[in-house]
Structure 1
Amino acid sequence: MAPTTIIRDTLEELGLRRAVVDLPGLLVVVAVCFVLLEALARKLGSPGPELPEASLDVLIVVLALVLGLVGYYAGNFWDDVVFDPLYGLSGKWIATKRRPFRVLIAGEDLQKARVAACRRLLPQAPSCEGLYRVAQDALTATPNTALRRAVEGPLVLSKMVRSFLWPLVTTGLLFAIWGGVNLATARAVDGVRLELTAIGLLLLGVFLLIPYLNLRVEHLIRLYRGTANPAASA
């Protein structure tokens, strides 16, 4: 049995299911933040001759943890502002049969799965308000570990991708402001380079919305199908 499987099973037995879902994605985000900060520190050099290299490494680790935690747990903003208006209960794309922009998942399958789960889990609430929490509780209670892992897989990946959105947006805006300052002070070459970097970072953030949305939709489809018909998922 693989070590990761042993760790995951142990956490589940201890009742730490949230750690099973959150920990892998969070570790990846923190690791990427650490690599970026380390590269930036090596490029810019130590902020002061009195700061030893060991202390700089500790500072980088702390900053990577802070940035990773902020990016990961502040990601609900993107659910509220981007995902829900498109794929929520009254989302713009819940009735679409064709893939929006040819790269995103059509919402029809999600809506069918949501309605089926609502009929079984919340028959007294035809609006399906609160369905996600009820479905998550039903998933937690199921003894079908294969179903739980299949449902949680896309969720872990979507959270991981989502965690990079805030760092990319904020960094892109900072580079844009920095580039504007350089352009205003007649340092055109540096200013243009910074503005292009800012555009690249923001475009990367837009690109990451594609896997974030697709993985989120896939998670919901698996969740609702699995809890609407647990016998078929066994």
Structure 2
Amino acid sequence: MKLSAPIFRLKRRAKLMARNSNVPLSEALDQIAREEGFARWSMLSSRIAARSLSETILSRLDDGDLLLMAGRPGHGKTTLGLELLLDAVRDDRKAVLFTLEFTEQQARKHIRSLEKDLLGIGDTLEIVTSDEISADYIIHHLSGSEPGTVAVIDYLQILDQQRSKPALSDQVLALGDFARKTGIVLGFISQIDRSFDSESKRLPDIRDIRLPNLVGLGLFNKACFLHNGEAQLQDVA
């Protein structure tokens, strides 16, 4: 969705509205966001942040990398993952979304809302919605794909929610080994723990990843943390 004005002008408009109408700035920002087709200002700002950030991330990913994309609900992590896949398509790479959250129809609708140049480019993005998604399923599905293929998994914390699937730590180990051997890039959308306090720090970090089941976060090469329209990409030590 194209904004009616650059985001800095929308912020200026909200500040004027807040001053002239004597309402809180947060209320004015949300009103501007609704006029632009978003439910809240945080959704508008995270969408814009994801658009510019995804191109930077793709350029910094090496073949075989495992990437975490983490944030609280509504702060842009899913949008970032889809933008990353669209950037891969534009770069003539194979791109696959494995989702245990969306139906294909829901995912396609979200993708269409993100296409900012060639309409229909997202149609070449493959979407897999099987309930059987797991490390073994992903490895089998991607076998034979070229190095540089980008796949996004939505999302990390439910890969092992079925008791019949291997432990999350075992799945991430298997996927990491597969990525290194094949040169396929794997991105994992991830939840942030509810204990994250934005009053004490602007952005979450690796210590704030929600881990109902233990997994070594050092298995990931890179991580991107998002909150309230801001984002930071970092190497995982």
Tell me, yes or no, whether TM beats 0.5.
no
Q: TM-score, normalised by structure 1?
A: 0.24
More strand by share: 2
Task: Considering Cα pairs closer than 8 Å and 6+ residues apart, tell me whether 1 or 2 has the greater RCO.
Answer: 2
Higher helix share: 1
- In terms of Rg, which structure is larger? 1
